[in-house]
Amino acid sequence: MIPDLWYKNAIVYCLSVESFMDSNGDGVGDFRGLMRRLDYLHGLGVTAIWLMPFQVSPGHDDGYDVADYYGVDPRYGTLGDFVEFTHAAKQRGMRVLIDLVINHTSDQHPWFKSARSDPSSPYRDWYVWSKKKPKNAHEGMVFPGVQKATWTYDSVAKAYYFHRFYEFQPDLNTANPEVQSEILRIMGFWLQLGVSGFRMDAAPFVIAEKGPHVDGKPIEHFNMLRVFREFLQWRCGDSIILAEANILPADDKKYFGVDGDRMHMMFNFQVNQTLFYALASADTRPLTKALKATRPDYATAQWGIFLRNHDELDLGRLSERQRQQAFDAFGPEKSMQLYDRGIRRRLAPMLQNDRRRLEVAYSLMLSLPGTPVLRYGDEIGMGDDLDLPERYCARTPMQWSNEKHGGFSQARKTILPVISEGSYGYQEVNVAEQRRDPDSLLNWMERMIRTRQETPEIGWGDFDIVDVGNKAVLCLRYTWRNNVVVLLHNFHPEGASISFRARPPNGEPDQLVNLLSDDHSEADGKGRHHITLEPYGYRWFRVGSLDYAIRRSE
């Protein structure tokens, strides 16, 4: 049990060290560059930094092909630089979360090199092998259309090895007790260096049974998650695990734990996908259903609420009709789509850089049940480069100014090209310009984050969905410690007028206090509040007392 449950009201900011800030002019971001920008993150209101992989790697999958779990890739600095970074973050009140990529390693990892070279190697059983090509070798691929199989023949080992992802990422045999012990060592190592937890990559695959005998849906060993959590909280009581698990709501409890004793947090993919459908269709009913279906059963469980991340926008849980509607709205061209299920774009171009739509989307991210997780660059409305392959299009360097390479680096060439043309080029979209503009997206975002942190009812409280008689309007009511907030969002390109009653307790003024402006709402003579929402309009109201009973007006 974590006494203060800090993650319930956190603001998480995801970044890649290699694409955030270059300090030495080699074209690659590094920890010393990141340290220079910590005050920027602190000023934005960030309370937890989630780092994408930075360990030693051949770099074939942006660091997710790890070749050494105990080191920092020399391009990004040293272990000393990392410790200095975590210390500097702590001084500013920010925690650090790092990716825990333990489903697979790089094929260049010394463990795999040893395993393939000798059947009697102590690491042979750390991976998953088959002497014959399994019947399901072309099933269950994570990257259809790019990936060819999940089993590949290795001429040195004279056997097939299993890889749920790319062929250069052989799966670890996570059922092996020695592998599990090593995973705990990896966690303990980074905890000792100052991290406050981990984002567990591909959690369902980590716990799934693996081997040539597996046919159909594999058995999942959920007790493994409990072992990870027990170790984590024994070593560092306030550390957490945020699991990446794109699962159905019926399985949520299995990951959070029967008694809330497994994962502290998970990304809410179900809400994410139905949210984008709502933005495409102005129909909040599937989103409402997803919110109700994913209501946590335990006080310690928390969702991570996000709009976009470093991967494609996965729409695989939507119906075919819903998915096509989202494709038509946000990624109509084939070059914008990926793996037959997702959209590989950043949010700003998906929403045609429409400030109204961007604001309502980010207001939702900050106010849906859970903890907001923001992707680097989204606070200034960065774009994407569709000329880059697969998911790299949304991983371009951070745009700090209108200087060379957007102020990211002084090098002749950068790790990925900085967006330099069009309305999303660094000359037009950068931190420096938006800092000076009081009406910029960056300054709006800073104000919204501050308001979110001053509204702990969202992170800590219970929520209800209020029916206001309009499928395009989502009305959420949070209650916590005798406080109530009501949040309204209009998904429609036209305005909407709604009304509801708020019965005040003990003669208190029948008023809804607007947290974002001075446009407060006074009830009429019959106790009704009448609210007019602009196209893509939103309101954050504080009611102030748990005794307020909010319901749809008759």
The domain that holds 544 is classified in CATH as 2.60.40.1180
Asked whether residue 183 falls in the same domain as residue 244, the answer is yes
Domain end point (choices 429, 453, 477): 453
**Considering 396, 428, 453, which residue would you say is the last residue of a domain?**
453
Q: Which of 420, 453, 486 is the last residue of a domain?
A: 453
Are 295 and 157 members of one domain? no
Residues 332 and 213 in one domain: yes
Give dist(CA 267, CA 256) in Å, integer. 11
Please tell me the predicted confidence (pLDDT) of residue 508. Answer: 60
Integer angstrom CA distances of residue 485 from 281, 461, 546: 26, 10, 9
Q: Which CATH number characterizes residue 152's domain?
A: 3.90.400.10
In this structure, the answer to whether residues 155 and 233 fall within a common structural domain is: no
**449 lies in which domain range?**
6-101+177-453
Among candidate residues 346, 341, 307, 339, the one with its CA nearest the CA of residue 323: 341
pLDDT 10s digits, 504-551: 545 565 788 999 999 898 888 877 889 999 999 999 999 854 344 455
The pLDDT mean for the chain works out to: 94
* 476 lies in some domain: yes
171: in domain:
no
pLDDT of amino acid 84: 98
Give the model's pLDDT for residue 3: 58
Whether 421 is catalytic: no
Distances (CA, A) of 475 to 296, 365, 520: 19, 14, 17
State how far the Cα of 498 lies from the Cα of 468, in Å rounded to an integer: 6
Q: What is the mean pLDDT of residues 272-280?
A: 98
Instruction: State whether 473 and 375 are in the same domain.
Output: no
Check whether residue 181 and residue 296 sit in a common domain. yes
Can you say how many angstroms the Cα of residue 373 is from the centroid of all Cα atoms in its chain? 5
Q: What is the pLDDT of residue 547?
A: 43
Closest CA to 309 of 357, 264, 276, 285: 276
412 and 544 share one domain: no
Position 485 pLDDT exceeds 80: yes
**Positive or negative torsion for Cα 267, 268, 272, 275:** negative
- CATH number, domain of 49, equals 3.20.20.80
Tell me what the mean pLDDT of segment 353-368 comes to: 98
The pTM of the full predicted model, rounded to 2 decimals, is 0.95
Pick the more confident residue, 463 or 522: 463
Q: Which of 22, 99, 171, 201 is catalytic?
A: 201
1 in a domain, yes or no? no
> CA-CA distance, 228 to 526, in Å (whole number)?
55
pLDDT in tens, 383-394: 999 999 999 999
**pLDDT interval class at 201 (50, 70, 90):** very high
Note if 467 is an active site residue: no
Using CA atoms, how far residue 40 sits from 34, 294, 414, 535, in Å, is: 10, 34, 22, 32
What's the confidence (pLDDT) of residue 502?
62
pLDDT at 548: 44
Residue 329 lies in a domain: yes
Among 437, 471, 455, CA closest to 515: 455
How high is the pLDDT of residue 549? 46
The catalytic residue among 244, 378, 379, 385 is: 244
Map residue 474 onto helix, strand or coil.
strand
pLDDT for 505 equals: 46
pLDDT, position 504: 52
**Residue 554 binned pLDDT confidence (cut-offs 50, 70, 90):** very low
- Residue range 236-254: average pLDDT? 94
* Tally of domains within the chain: 3
E-strand spans in 332-416?
Answer: 337-338, 342-343, 371-375
Cα 10 versus chain centre, distance? 13
Within-domain flag for 215? yes
Residues 536 and 393 in one domain: no
Q: Considering only CA atoms, which of 364, 545, 536 is closest in space to residue 452?
A: 364
Q: Are residues 97 and 147 in the same domain?
A: no
In a shared domain, residues 299 and 230? yes
Residue 291 has what pLDDT?
98
Ramachandran angles phi, psi of 413, nearest 5°:
-135, 140
114 with 94, same domain? no
Residues 130 and 185 in one domain: no
Q: Which residue did the predictor score with more confidence, 259 or 368? A: 368
